[in-house]
Structure 1
Amino acid sequence: MSLAPNLGLAVQQIDNMTLCGALVASPFLKAANQLDTRLTGTEPWKIVVGTAGVSLGVAYLYSLTRHRIPLRVRAKAYIFKWIKRIPAIRRKIMDEKSKMKANMTEELQKDCMDLPDILVLPANGFSHDDVIQKTKEYLEYGNMDWESGALSGGVYNGSKELSELITEVYRLALWSNPLHPDAFPGLRQMEMEVVRMTCDMFQGGPESCGCVTTGGTESILLACKAYRDRALERGIEFPEILVPVSAHAAFDKAAQILGMNIQHAPMDPITMRVDLPAMKRLITKNTAMLVGSAPQFPHGSIDPIEEIGQLGLKYDIPVHVDACLGGFIIAFQGEAGYPVGGFDFTVPGVCSISADTHKYGYAPKGSSVLVYKNPELRNYQWFSCPDWPGGIYATPTIGGSRAGGIIAATWASMIHFGRSGYVESTKRIVETTRRVAKELADIPGLKIVGVPEVSVVGFGSDHFNVYAVTDGMKNRGWSLNSLQFPVSAHICITTLHTLPGVADRFLNDVREITAEIMKNPGACNSGTAAVYGMAASIPDRSIVSELIGCYLDALYSSKLDLNISPKNV
């Protein structure tokens, strides 16, 4: 066989490629020649300095894009930072902060004004009886009748029988600490059983695992930490959290603490579930985890977990389900006769779930459970320090020492209620939730916001500022949650609201207050409406954070901060 034709074809192809290369390179060669002409006679050191300067400039511009916080956000913060340095604006901000701090300090202390502050250690310790008496005295302050169901969420059971059980169990485990499993092996057994029971609730297989934490915020933070470290191991330099805008603020807190960026996908304006196409568009090569809520806190809607799970599978991104609020309800809704869509480990793509035992698990405050689909994921959560002079140190959660009494009391609550107990309480709560939602929707002037599938009923108004309702209800002894973006409010139904007459009293009060407001809808821009309206109108959210700081400062204020003389304290 002759090679000549093949060789000729190859030569022709090479010539064509050379010609194409020449055509592509031509503009660059032309530019290079022009540059050579311009620089003819220029001293070499100037060329070197100029080249170095341009290189450094390009490197700096590139570095601006390599940051966990997007350039747009940093630029906006930088502009507002300088605006706030304008003397007139700074004085205005400081004046408002001073006013707010004074108001908050007075508001938080008003119920205890006749209670002397203990500002230094007593010279001689109080006796046992004196301490008990003092404790009772302190805890009797306040006029919120939470035992009658006046509080939205907050206290999820509160029955005398359960309180006595938890108190006794906590007393027995008072000095125990899971940091020392050799000293307290039974406590280790309790924590393991709490985790295994929770895994079973969420239909995890034999590989599912988890840990007990101090609350939903820690559970969320640890899940974010695990997926951050997984992303870093895979070469993602700036791992991002992708959440619905309605996801709990604990994810924003976790992002700040862990040095992660966080992206917020918008909600569907009707259902208040995450806008799935928008969430998909926000996925990037840096996305380390996807989040869905079951349900979300503001409006009680359950995000489309199954669809989020499919996104996770498609892009190989772990999906975390935040069931901190309603995990111990949704797990039993099917058996209670109120089934909801998929949300647990049977959903492909779901890798972890957080659920607060101190809410509808009816454990004491300070307990939550974080469970994973398999140990490989949980391993990213661990902390170990093998080179510490104090010995090899390792902890499963954020805390080192932890309150064994809380773990024991959580375990006691779960085995006390059992599956049948949780199913029964779920039935009562969901029944009450749906009744409240139906009757609120029938009140002229009000509308339901979101889909109240579990235990939260969100409501708003197209006729007036709904904060007027929350203020009116506060005057009648109720404590509801005010929401923003959009303006709305909610009540979180607990066991206390299922007691005879509580829901009736709540609905009657809302009807009367709303009817009064509807007589003059425009006259409701004071109180909570004024505060939230002012906050929503400020474009620089850092100023809002500064003002909120006044509230946090006031939490730790004493009567000295009210200029009350120490001799009167």
Structure 2
Amino acid sequence: MAAATTRKPTLVQSVIAQLTVEHAKTAVFWYVVYYRALALWRHVRARGISASVSGLYLALVKRVFAVVLLIPSARRKVKAELDTVTLDLETKLAPPHPSLPRALTLPAEGLSSEALSEALTALSAMPNTQWEDGRVSGAVYHGGEEMGKVWTEAMSKFIVSNPLHCDVFPGVRKMDSEVVSMCLSLFNSPLPTSAIDEAGGAGTTTSGGTESILMACKAYRDRARIERGITEPEMIVPLSAHAAFEKASQYFKMKIHFIPVDRETRKVNLKLVKRAINPNTIMLVGSAPNFPDGAIDDIAGLSKLALKYNLALHVDCCLGSFLVPFLEKAGYPSDPFDFRVPGVTSISCDTHKYGFAPKGSSVIMYRSKALRKYQYSVTTTWPGGVYATPSIAGSRPGAVIAGAWASMHKMGVDGYTSSCREIVGAAKQIVLGIRKDFPELKVLGDPLVSVVAFESVDEEVPVYEVGDKMGGLGWHLNALQSPPALHIACTRLTVPVVSDFLRDLRIAVDEVKASTEKGKGSMVMLYGLGSSSAVGPGLVEQLASRYMDVLYA
């Protein structure tokens, strides 16, 4: 049989093939150019020219700073400075105990019950900020001595329980679901009548506000990918929103646009939110209230945007928790914030704050089960069997759930209403006191809940200096940025010491005005460093990492 002959392509065929390849290359090139240009346009439109240029500048400075650290002499100098600060932090945060040596390895023999009890007593007696005196901003949301007894009883009965094994611990499953249902009811969500009822709200418990926020972001990311094919999701978040949203952005590869707040009201600027919306936007965020200055964002306004553009709207009510729902009952003004606002699709609420539950207790709520399902993690091919969890954790402490359930039943509507009246009343006394007697200071916004933030309006009274002076007087206040300010988050412990706070604030302000030496305090040094130079933020980032290293020293 004769071998088959291969025909050479004609000149025309060669030209056509070459043109096709060239056209394909050109098409790919211009597609990449278009894609990048569109992404750049959306970025600049969302953030504005000034903020975009500033962000680019900071990114370049950070890169240059990293390159400079490659130079041995510069790296040694920076390291020496950071080592000095780290050792100082270790002295303050991890001092050696006078009678207990560091336990760096397991003891050769287990301790007796008596020796263990003595060690625990010694550790609990280590010097600390006297939070019992009400001089700590937030941090300790104490429900009183009687609530402590409730925790002890509830948690002791479920100390080994784990809701991952609901068939083994049915009581914990019941309490877990009821904590969620009570919160849904509190935030005015209709409740489903059964497990197959698709109407009504849904939710899960989590380990805290950060996890609740992470879960909402994860759910909306997955929903957008599955239902709308969005592979590069973006969220629009007020600059005043909790840092957990930026953590979610890092964890889940979601681009985040921070929107400035109004200088006077401290609410997010809705016009800038609208400008930032694009086809990759999957969610909007509002706070009720925000952490820095206690303002409640215009949730109704955000709702209109969410409905118009078919977006999710998450309301972070972790700090407001069991205060905001009771404002009206306690006789105080409030703003719309819950599921009665039609565009709200999820709410995070910390039961371990003003709900007075044990630490490690929060709830994430959704308008429907259809939304909640995107939060779940389900693995069906694991050799160990089907593995499904509602949130990040696998095993969870059932004892904390029992403590939350017991706390909520102990307080009831009347207890939380009374608590709200006292705590918010204390915050309002502080607002009135500052506005009346401190011309050097200005309260930020119009605080409706428990947080009161104030900045300095007198050049002779830098606010971080005031913070350091208050620290010397035994107060532990939060330092804020953008603008430089301080805040106190009132708790039940704050209620009896409002007059002490205002008295000591007057002393601190007067001392700062009279002082000729400024810039020595730790608050001034840390937050001043961040804005002192272009490399300041990079140094603060490294200092923060060193701080966390010290915690495990």
Query: Could you list the per-position Cα deviations for residues 461-499 of structure 1 after superposition, in whole angstroms to 9, with x for gaps in the alignment?
Result: 111211111111111111000111100000010001113
Map of 1:28 onto structure 2: none
Could you tell me which of 246, 261, 268 is aligned with 2:240? 246
Evaluate the alpha carbon distance shift between residue 61 and residue 549 of structure 1 in structure 2; reply closer, same or farther with a 3 A threshold.
Answer: farther
Evaluate the alpha carbon distance shift between residue 235 and residue 113 of structure 1 in structure 2; reply closer, same or farther with a 3 A threshold.
Answer: farther
**Are positions 1:119 and 2:99 aligned together?**
no
Give the C-alpha shift of residue 97 in structure 1. 2.6
CA distance in 2 between partners of 1:123 and 1:356 (Å) = 41
Q: Which amino acid aligns with 1:126?
A: L
CA distance in 1 between partners of 2:248 and 2:173 (Å) = 27
Q: Are 1:455 and 1:494, in contact at CA under 8 Å, matched by a contact in 2?
A: yes
Matches within 5 A, 1:363-378: 363-378=357-372
CA distance in 2 between partners of 1:264 and 1:484 (Å) = 14
Q: Are 1:84 and 1:90, in contact at CA under 8 Å, matched by a contact in 2?
A: no
Map of 2:3 onto structure 1: none
Map of 1:429 onto structure 2: 423
CA distance in 1 between partners of 2:542 and 2:305 (Å) = 37
CA distance in 2 between partners of 1:285 and 1:45 (Å) = 37
Matches within 5 A, 1:245-264: 245-264=239-258
CA distance in 2 between partners of 1:402 and 1:368 (Å) = 13
Give the C-alpha shift of residue 96 in structure 1. 3.2
Q: Are 1:323 and 1:355, in contact at CA under 8 Å, matched by a contact in 2?
A: yes
Query: Could you list the per-position Cα deviations for residues 521-559 of structure 1 after superposition, in whole angstroms to 9, with x for gaps in the alignment?
Result: x743221112211112343544432221111111111xx
Could you tell me which of 101, 126, 137 is aligned with 2:86? 101
Evaluate the alpha carbon distance shift between residue 217 and residue 380 of structure 1 in structure 2; reply closer, same or farther with a 3 A threshold.
Answer: same
Where 1:453 maps in the other structure, the secondary structure is coil
Evaluate the alpha carbon distance shift between residue 270 and residue 92 of structure 1 in structure 2; reply closer, same or farther with a 3 A threshold.
Answer: farther
Where 1:203 maps in the other structure, the secondary structure is coil
Q: Which amino acid aligns with 1:451?
A: D
CA distance in 2 between partners of 1:173 and 1:220 (Å) = 27
Where 2:323 maps in the other structure, the secondary structure is helix
**Are positions 1:130 and 2:115 aligned together?**
yes
CA distance in 1 between partners of 2:445 and 2:414 (Å) = 29
**Are positions 1:545 and 2:541 aligned together?**
yes
Where 1:328 maps in the other structure, the secondary structure is coil
Map of 2:337 onto structure 1: 343
Evaluate the alpha carbon distance shift between residue 44 and residue 332 of structure 1 in structure 2; reply closer, same or farther with a 3 A threshold.
Answer: closer
Q: Are 1:244 and 1:266, in contact at CA under 8 Å, matched by a contact in 2?
A: yes
Query: Could you list the per-position Cα deviations for residues 71-113 of structure 1 after superposition, in whole angstroms to 9, with x for gaps in the alignment?
Result: 9768963664245323255444333332332222222123746
Could you tell me which of 467, 470, 476 is aligned with 2:467? 470
Evaluate the alpha carbon distance shift between residue 110 and residue 382 of structure 1 in structure 2; reply closer, same or farther with a 3 A threshold.
Answer: same
Map of 1:481 onto structure 2: 478
Where 1:399 maps in the other structure, the secondary structure is coil
Q: Which amino acid aligns with 2:218?
A: K
Map of 1:535 onto structure 2: 530
**Are positions 1:166 and 2:146 aligned together?**
no
Give the C-alpha shift of residue 46 in structure 1. 10
Unaligned runs of 5+ in 1: 1-42, 558-569
Give the C-alpha shift of residue 64 in structure 1. 5.3
Evaluate the alpha carbon distance shift between residue 49 and residue 192 of structure 1 in structure 2; reply closer, same or farther with a 3 A threshold.
Answer: closer
Query: Could you list the per-position Cα deviations for residues 345-377 of structure 1 after superposition, in whole angstroms to 9, with x for gaps in the alignment?
Result: 001100111010000000010000111111111
Where 1:122 maps in the other structure, the secondary structure is coil
Map of 1:7 onto structure 2: none
Map of 2:491 onto structure 1: 494
Matches within 5 A, 1:400-419: 400-419=394-413
Matches within 5 A, 1:154-553: 154-206=139-191, 207-233=200-226, 234-442=228-436, 443-463=438-458, 464-499=461-496, 502-520=497-515, 523-527=517-521, 528-539=523-534, 541-553=537-549
Which is worse superposed, 535-544 or 382-391? Answer: 535-544
Give the C-alpha shift of residue 65 in structure 1. 6.4
Evaluate the alpha carbon distance shift between residue 235 and residue 332 of structure 1 in structure 2; reply closer, same or farther with a 3 A threshold.
Answer: same
CA distance in 1 between partners of 2:38 and 2:254 (Å) = 13
Which is worse superposed, 428-437 or 76-85? Answer: 76-85
CA distance in 2 between partners of 1:283 and 1:67 (Å) = 12
CA distance in 2 between partners of 1:555 and 1:112 (Å) = 15
Where 1:301 maps in the other structure, the secondary structure is coil
Q: Are 1:538 and 1:544, in contact at CA under 8 Å, matched by a contact in 2?
A: no
Evaluate the alpha carbon distance shift between residue 282 and residue 539 of structure 1 in structure 2; reply closer, same or farther with a 3 A threshold.
Answer: farther
Which is worse superposed, 183-192 or 109-118? Answer: 109-118
Map of 1:139 onto structure 2: 124
CA distance in 2 between partners of 1:273 and 1:111 (Å) = 45
CA distance in 2 between partners of 1:503 and 1:339 (Å) = 21
Give the C-alpha shift of residue 118 in structure 1. 0.5
Tell me the C-alpha RMSD between the 2 structures.
2.6
Q: Which of 1 and 2 has greater Rg? A: 1
Q: Are 2:529 and 2:540, in contact at CA under 8 Å, matched by a contact in 1?
A: no
Q: Are 2:443 and 2:455, in contact at CA under 8 Å, matched by a contact in 1?
A: yes
Evaluate the alpha carbon distance shift between residue 79 and residue 483 of structure 1 in structure 2; reply closer, same or farther with a 3 A threshold.
Answer: closer
Q: TM-score, normalised by structure 2?
A: 0.87
Map of 1:12 onto structure 2: none
Give the C-alpha shift of residue 70 in structure 1. 6.3
Where 1:525 maps in the other structure, the secondary structure is coil
Evaluate the alpha carbon distance shift between residue 301 and residue 79 of structure 1 in structure 2; reply closer, same or farther with a 3 A threshold.
Answer: closer
Aligned length: 513
